Amino acid sequence: MTDTQIRDRLRGAVDDTTAPPAFAHVVLTRGRARRRRRYAAGALVAAAAIVAAATVVPAGGPLARDGEPASTYDDASARLAWARSLPAGPVPGLPFFGDDGLHAGEALVPLPASVNRTVPPRTVRDGWLVVVGQREDELAWAVLAADGALEPLPEETWAGGLGDVRAVVAPDGGRVALGRWMVDLATMAATPVPHVPGSDVQKGYYTQVRMVGFTAEGLVYEAAPFHQGIGTTWLLRDDGSTVRVEPPGGSHVRDGGPADLALRFDYADDDTDTCVTTFRLVGSVWTGQGSGCLGGYLGEALAVSDDARWLVTDDLPEVWDLREGRFARVDLPREVVEGWGDGWMGSLVWEDDDSVLLPVSDPDGEGATDAFDQSVQVVRCTLSTGACERAGDEQHVVVRTDGMSTTGVRFAQ
């Protein structure tokens, strides 16, 4: 079973509970590490062989790693040195928390002490959506204005805890969907979406509304009825009507990706090939957009560009061009990615249709229990050209982490 398949199966256990949003990535990361150790030790038994296959890349294909030099970027300081060596580029186009406030383009916004830095900000009309409060009983959503003022969202919109802080913003920035609510930011009126389940648990499975994202037609989300914890996919139009828009069989709309794009992964029986089929939601109908085969084994699909052209996988620096059905490459040394292990996977985000942002930091803070100083250089890679550059100035932040959340430089997925 591949990491992508495991992630999809975990969705019912992760997205429909209050588990931390990075939990699925943590499970996959630890699972890959265990599988690699077992494989290296030569102690695999037949029952574990299927699991181990998720990290074994077939020789000869474009995803193969055999014969390449050992990584020289195993430590964080070497990776940061590489990031510092890149040419200078514009500041990130997405907001983030630096040590001196919220950075939004060239603007620096004062940050009230109540803002919770473990949840990255999202751009909305007239400000940024943030979480306020440091203790469990204080947590709430709010909009941070450019002058540092905070306007809270209605109290009922907070589902409780930092476990599920998924929020999606309408294209015009005037509405946000979170929990089971649609909030008009101009009036701060909160309206529950249709098809909310009558209870949090049905037949032993959690039944939590999952906000997927906005399209030109409205809000895509999962809600009742549920089957074994997986909700029905709905499109909520601006007039308040809803229509079922279940993705085609075997496909899935990925977290953090465009809400009108579903991907299906088909694996060869001997794991020597992986084919990707793309579907777009046109109005309320899913339409096939094409299929292409990678010529090798896909371990994990990570992020899709909003224009549905690029698919970033764990084969970075190669990226898959969904339109052309071929691999392209960004100018990011493979040794940097491999020396990093899985640490980069939860940090990479799309800045726009053609570029990704990746914070490179030293120290990485693995195993840290106390606050520590960290230097961070955000790197931008443009997929159509393959070029990478420094995105703005290096940041110096004080990081506090509990293993599941961090105050380090991150961007909202």
pLDDT by residue for the chain (413 residues), tens only, comes to 444 444 444 444 444 333 333 333 333 333 343 333 333 333 323 333 323 333 333 333 334 344 444 445 778 999 999 999 999 999 999 999 998 999 999 999 999 999 999 999 999 999 999 999 988 889 999 999 999 999 999 999 997 667 678 999 999 999 999 999 999 999 999 999 999 999 989 899 999 999 999 999 999 999 999 999 999 999 999 999 999 999 999 999 998 899 999 999 999 999 999 999 999 999 999 999 999 999 999 999 999 999 999 999 999 999 999 999 999 999 999 999 988 888 899 899 999 999 999 999 999 887 788 899 999 999 999 999 999 999 999 999 999 987 678 899 999 98
pLDDT at 72: 59
pLDDT at 1: 46
pLDDT at 256: 84
Angle formed by the axes of helices 3-14 and 23-41, to 10°?
A: 140
The owner of tokens 């940050």 is 111
The residue count for the chain: 413
pLDDT at 403: 64
Q: Which residues pair with 181 in a beta bridge?
A: 178, 192
What's this model's pTM, rounded to 2 decimal places?
0.82
What's the Cα-to-Cα distance from 97 to each of 106, 125, 261, 326, rounded to whole Å? 13, 18, 30, 36
Could you tell me which of 31, 40, 45, 44 has the C-alpha nearest to residue 1?
Answer: 31
Domains and CATH numbers, the chain: 3-399 (2.130.10)
pLDDT at 366: 79
pLDDT at 23: 33
Rounded CA separation 353/309 (Å): 8
